[in-house]
Chains A and B, each alone.
Chain A
């Protein structure tokens, strides 16, 4: 009896509010789960791919070679981030349900919003860490290759007896293709995109009962989302005065996130200027989408029966 005495006097009001600790506990367990599913082996594959791409220097000039390394690296990071966001998120909740782990979690004093947020944060932490690791690997490689090229190209031009201006110009062209700190903005864009993708997927997985369905629909939304602005413009041109079409277009705009807002990062990695207002509006839009889809997910999940 002595053992259960303090339990009897437990204040009942302790857990009415949302708790960061519980969200973090669920996020941490999601993180461990994904890590122990050996997801990080992907990073090894990434490193190998990059080294291979970095050494394919027969076909290209120095500038082309560097820009190819960048395109391949960021392309892979982007692919990894959104694909992982869809697949991992789609698998997690149905799995908990199948294993009845969800019963034991929700029969503890855990709010459903805490569970959803925890899952989302767990997935996003894995993505963020992977992206940062990939970025570090990429930076090291790009840096080495840039210096490499600089030396060999300059030496070749000097040997050929070219003018100092010409050598200077070539060196500048190579350096321009090298590492820039603006690339972090590109990484941020990729991460935000995957955050939106993950929250769309979490919403879908609260409605659907099968992971496969969730994965397919989320992928379709992802693909359509890249052309959403185009489609909306097309409809508006076709049916200028049709109020129904206008409303549908508005609805469409909310349901299907405009994934095009993230695509400016491709310019950044190739050396274009970063426009701060674009970064801010992208960040704001992403938070908005994440919020909306989490809220929709919660609405479904709140009354869901297991």
Chain B
């Protein structure tokens, strides 16, 4: 098997809080890997340690314990960053630079120049649909535009891995559709993607594999289909069903169900979301019982 794009082994990150002897365990013994060429989604509620894990992987933070590798190179080695493109959450860039200048700046930081850089900038502006705004300063960009220039910036040196922190947060449905299409295109090009989100519907269709993180610990992990199917349940999704038909089915279950029970009725929701809520609430229950 080829080297995984990201390898996180027993990662723990503890933050001291104030001067007293208090600690926040942001990430707790987390292990997972992003296989080369795959899209991996780390999913969890606010404050569950997603951004922290990403920052350790990027070498912006040192792990308290454990280690992280990128294509086999330790995150602490600056060379690992040749292969990464990163889009932080709610990115802002230098307001005084235009879109094209921003890409030029990041390209130069990666050692690109001349024709190669110029062509790449044109290519990326087209890819993220910002050609019309390339000479405008970023101070005047909308949130969605910033997100897209951020994505272009992450891709400038043709990295093998892109790390996206909440790529669709604060972007309207159309914009987030575009971003998801872009992610799928990256995957087609053989680029590995490591993204995180708390908006499940937004990422489930692009992820090959997801990890569910809660309070710094990995709760579930695996292929999306495996995760969301529940063995003893069957769902029927009907289209254009009249309410009489639905009533009939319900009555049928009551009279001839033989123990079968109607658990849920309504417009289908993301199954992943349901699971997410279940994990969070069972966690809460456990806490209250203790």
A residues near B (Cβ < 8 Å) are 1, 3-4, 6-8, 10, 12-16, 19, 21-22, 25-26, 29, 32-33, 36-37, 99-101, 103-111, 303, 305-306
Contacting pair A305 B79 (CB below 8 A): no
Contacting pair B60 A4 (CB below 8 A): no
List chain B residues, Cβ under 8 A from A108. 81, 106, 109-110, 157
Rounded to whole Å, the gap between the CB of A179 and the closest CB of chain B is 37
List chain B residues, Cβ under 8 A from A101. 92-94
List chain A residues, Cβ under 8 A from B88. 100, 103-104
| Additional A-B contacts beyond A15-B78, A100-B89 (5; CB < 8 A) | A12-B79, A22-B109, A32-B96, A37-B96, A104-B106
List chain B residues, Cβ under 8 A from A25. 105, 108-109
List chain B residues, Cβ under 8 A from A13. 79
CA distance A16 to B80 in the complex (A): 10
B residues near A (Cβ < 8 Å) are 55, 58-62, 73, 78-79, 81-94, 96-97, 105-106, 108-111, 150, 153-154, 157-160, 163, 189-191
CA distance A106 to B76 in the complex (A): 12
Rounded to whole Å, the gap between the CB of A87 and the closest CB of chain B is 17
Contacting pair B60 A306 (CB below 8 A): yes
CA distance A274 to B110 in the complex (A): 46
List chain A residues, Cβ under 8 A from B92. 99-101
**Minimal Cβ-Cβ distance residue in A for B86:** A107
In the complex, the 9 A-B pairs of residues with the closest C-beta atoms, listed nearest first: A7-B158, A107-B86, A99-B92, A36-B96, A25-B108, A305-B61, A109-B81, A108-B109, A103-B88
CA distance A67 to B93 in the complex (A): 47
CA distance A111 to B54 in the complex (A): 19
Contacting pair B79 A107 (CB below 8 A): no
Partner of B108, one of A8, A21, A37, A103: A21
Rounded to whole Å, the gap between the CB of A74 and the closest CB of chain B is 31
Contacting pair A1 B189 (CB below 8 A): yes
Mind listing 16 A-B residue pairs with CB under 8 Å? A4-B160, A7-B157, A13-B79, A15-B82, A21-B111, A22-B111, A26-B109, A103-B55, A104-B93, A107-B58, A109-B78, A109-B81, A109-B111, A110-B81, A111-B78, A305-B55
Partner of A305, one of B62, B91, B159: B62
Identify the interface centre among A8, A37, A100, A108: most chain B CB within 10 Å of its CB.
Answer: A108
Contacting pair A109 B110 (CB below 8 A): yes
**Minimal Cβ-Cβ distance residue in B for A12:** B79
Contacting pair A14 B94 (CB below 8 A): no
List chain A residues, Cβ under 8 A from B61. 305-306
Contacting pair A15 B93 (CB below 8 A): no
Rounded to whole Å, the gap between the CB of A96 and the closest CB of chain B is 9
CA distance A37 to B94 in the complex (A): 12
CA distance A15 to B82 in the complex (A): 8
CA distance A7 to B190 in the complex (A): 11
CA distance A32 to B158 in the complex (A): 26
CA distance A118 to B182 in the complex (A): 33
With A12-B73, A104-B150, A305-B62: A19-B160 Cβ-Cβ less than 8 Å = no
Rounded to whole Å, the gap between the CB of B198 and the closest CB of chain A is 18
With A19-B111, A101-B92, A101-B93: A1-B190 Cβ-Cβ less than 8 Å = yes
List chain A residues, Cβ under 8 A from B55. 103, 305-306
Contacting pair A33 B60 (CB below 8 A): no
CA distance A32 to B98 in the complex (A): 12
With A29-B94, A104-B150: A15-B79 Cβ-Cβ less than 8 Å = yes
**Minimal Cβ-Cβ distance residue in B for A98:** B92
Contacting pair B109 A110 (CB below 8 A): yes
